[in-house]
Chain A
């Protein structure tokens, strides 16, 4: 299966998180992990903001917003 960055995936399609990049700020990584962004979790992008800079994702029964820069550090496959 092909890997993508979360910032580049299609709407309303289910992907699985592969990993989070190691070159990201550790504070941001901590917050992502605390929200459940880790390997093996299913994720769906549901919406984008006015200028596509923020994504709204569905992860483990909750909707979470995150910036495109943050999403580009999350690698998914599917």
Chain B
């Protein structure tokens, strides 16, 4: 197969280039390590297959996603390589190109012209390197013509390179990856350090000479901005971050998001739903099918679909944060805080993406340099409240707390973050102590938000949400409706008067949840259904209460409903939904990325944590109701003292990973 590998430093625009070439919609962003696995696709414009690989700085891997790239390059000897460089960081990008040339691969250098204030003589560069050099803009297909001309003339034959020589050089530089390939077991010596220094310095000298001949001039300092004086200010960075989060939550859950959501709900319920049900009545369709359509499909699925605008808005804001380059700044500000709990600034990207979808977020943990930190970061992503949980907070919180719900939702999101950090600290001190992690990372420049990119990404998120609703949520809603309307003797409960399958199971499990304040079979069954996908919780509540999307909030206040709450149990239920077991797709990702052991650990630990925290929340609310605020405050203070003592014990000093002493 005529494969062309797209290789380059992180954040040079490889995925953008790949998307333009193939018409794919691979996720892109202004952060190092957005691509963590390879994607293969045929181009619409040439006869070749292109492979988008995660970014690497050189052919020495330092993290899992870098190893994916290097494994792929070394195992596909016949493939052509496009080394994608960014004209702003050309000097560093060419270091990788030099290594690929030394490896003896057929390469073509493509320079993505991002900065306009850069001068470079491309013909001289081609002459000096002795290989084809093409300059283009990765997001503009019009600039690809010269590249297509070259690609159509490529010949795919085996290279005659002696790769072993390259492996030997890298082994002398102390690279563990190549030492393993050559079965070298001796320890790293001072000679290796000196050889490494000379090897890279020599490469850079060569690059500097070439660039000097090509009259390369770059006046701009990449990643430097006057705004950073404010954004990175010690005292302002966190308030700014919280302000950004508040604005995102306010626009998503209230104002714009709520307005759009209410209108969509009206459209589904009062216009489409009513007309479809009336049509079915007029066609004399059996009652069973009408009830299934009305309660199972329109009430169940409709209750989730009406949150489409809010979910889309959340993804829109996440994309804006990612595109601008703000996440790198946040990673810089929070690295030392996160280091104390065994994470790294790089974890910020995974954790922020967790607000969108835990499954995709857990995959991004691959960019961590330390294996234990990677496991921890992935395991923590479900604690970040994902967009699927958003309908639960909006419906249940909205029913009891009205306008104050924004505060409740904000506290729930913060609780998720706090529990995640404590969990990380626990893992750091027990099973997964961090090894040496690096935080050597380039700072990307701030970028203007591309409306085209944002619209495409938002549309993609909306489509995947709708596809998920049309497949998983719709089928689950039908299953939930059937289980709620059919008894164990397979009779329709409306006529037989027997208890439904779900009610029977729910009643068996309900006593377990009575210390948490919600012991109705409906609430327990909704949580069970939510194990597959969290969106199903709200659709199940609508089905159990036999209400539509407009009246679901009113129904859960009534004690006569199958699923009902008090303010205390509502909070407890929301907290439980935030923290309990991740959905099936996240668990499948955990199994694949971290192994079965950690997937099982995630189920058990999250259930136990959710149980304990929900019980604590419910008890606290009950104490307030019975004994007033003063007693509650005293209880909280006692708890904080006990908790602080535990943290202090866990954080007792261990030997430093760098010098193996109890250093500062």
Contact = CB atoms under 8 A, between A and B. Distances in A.
B335 A38 contact: no
B173 interface: yes
A50 B438 contact: no
A78 interface: no
Nearest to B208: A60
A36 B333 CA distance: 23
Given A39-B201, A53-B339, A46 B91 contact: no
Given A63-B222, A65-B440, A26 B192 contact: yes
Contact of A56 (B57, B91, B332, B339): B332
A48 to B, nearest CB: 7
Interface-centre pick from A24, A31, A63 (highest chain B CB count, 10 A): A63
Contacts of B175: 26, 30
Nearest to A27: B62
Contacts of B218: 61
A22 B193 contact: yes
Interface stretch (B230-238, B247-255, B303-311, B496-504): B230-238
B630 interface: no
Describe A's contact surface by its main secondary structure. Answer: mixed
A51 B356 CA distance: 29
B635 to A, nearest CB: 31
Interface string A8-32: 0000000000001010111111111
Contact of B57 (A31, A50, A65): A31
Interface string A39-78: 1000000111111111010101111111111100000000
B339 to A, nearest CB: 6
Contacts of B238: 50
B13 interface: no
Interface string B438-472: 11111100000000000000000000000000000
A24 B174 CA distance: 12
A73 to B, nearest CB: 8
Contacts of A31: 57, 62, 438, 440
Given A64-B441, A65-B441, A53 B335 contact: yes
B613 interface: no
A39 to B, nearest CB: 7
Nearest to B189: A22
Contacts of B220: 61
Interface string B26-60: 00000000000000000000000000000001101
Contacts of A54: 332, 335-336, 345, 439
B285 interface: no
A29 B331 CA distance: 22
Given A27-B62, A50-B333, A54-B335, A65 B193 contact: no
B445 to A, nearest CB: 9
Given A31-B438, A34-B57, A54-B439, A65 B332 contact: yes
B649 interface: no
Nearest to B220: A61
Given A20-B197, A63-B443, A30 B92 contact: no
B551 to A, nearest CB: 47
Contact of A26 (B91, B193, B369): B193
A22 B333 contact: no
Contacts of A30: 58, 60, 62, 173-175, 196, 200
B438 A27 contact: yes
Contact of A51 (B173, B336, B656): B336
A19 to B, nearest CB: 8
A71 B269 CA distance: 61
B440 A35 contact: yes
A46 B439 contact: no
A35 B237 CA distance: 26
Interface-centre pick from B62, B331, B658 (highest chain A CB count, 10 A): B658
A63 to B, nearest CB: 3
Interface in B46-99: 57-58, 60, 62, 89, 91-92, 95
B438 A28 contact: yes
B232 A26 contact: no
A24 B197 CA distance: 13
B620 interface: no
Contacts of A34: 57-58, 60, 92, 95, 200
Interface string B544-574: 0000000000000000000000000000000
B607 interface: no
A58 B228 CA distance: 13
B217 to A, nearest CB: 10
B628 interface: no
A52 B197 CA distance: 28
A64 B89 CA distance: 12
A45 B600 CA distance: 45
B426 interface: no
B337 interface: yes
Nearest to A38: B201
B283 interface: no
A47 to B, nearest CB: 5
B39 to A, nearest CB: 25
Contacts of B289: none
A33 B356 CA distance: 36
Contact of B442 (A24, A28, A38, A62): A62
B194 to A, nearest CB: 8
Contacts of B331: 65
B440 A70 contact: yes
27 contacts: A22-B190, A22-B193, A24-B658, A27-B438, A29-B193, A34-B57, A34-B95, A47-B228, A47-B232, A47-B332, A49-B332, A49-B336, A50-B336, A51-B336, A53-B339, A56-B443, A61-B220, A62-B222, A62-B442, A63-B442, A64-B442, A65-B331, A65-B335, A65-B441, A65-B443, A66-B439, A68-B336
8 tightest Cβ-Cβ pairs between the two chains A and B? A53-B336, A63-B223, A63-B443, A26-B174, A33-B200, A51-B336, A62-B222, A67-B439
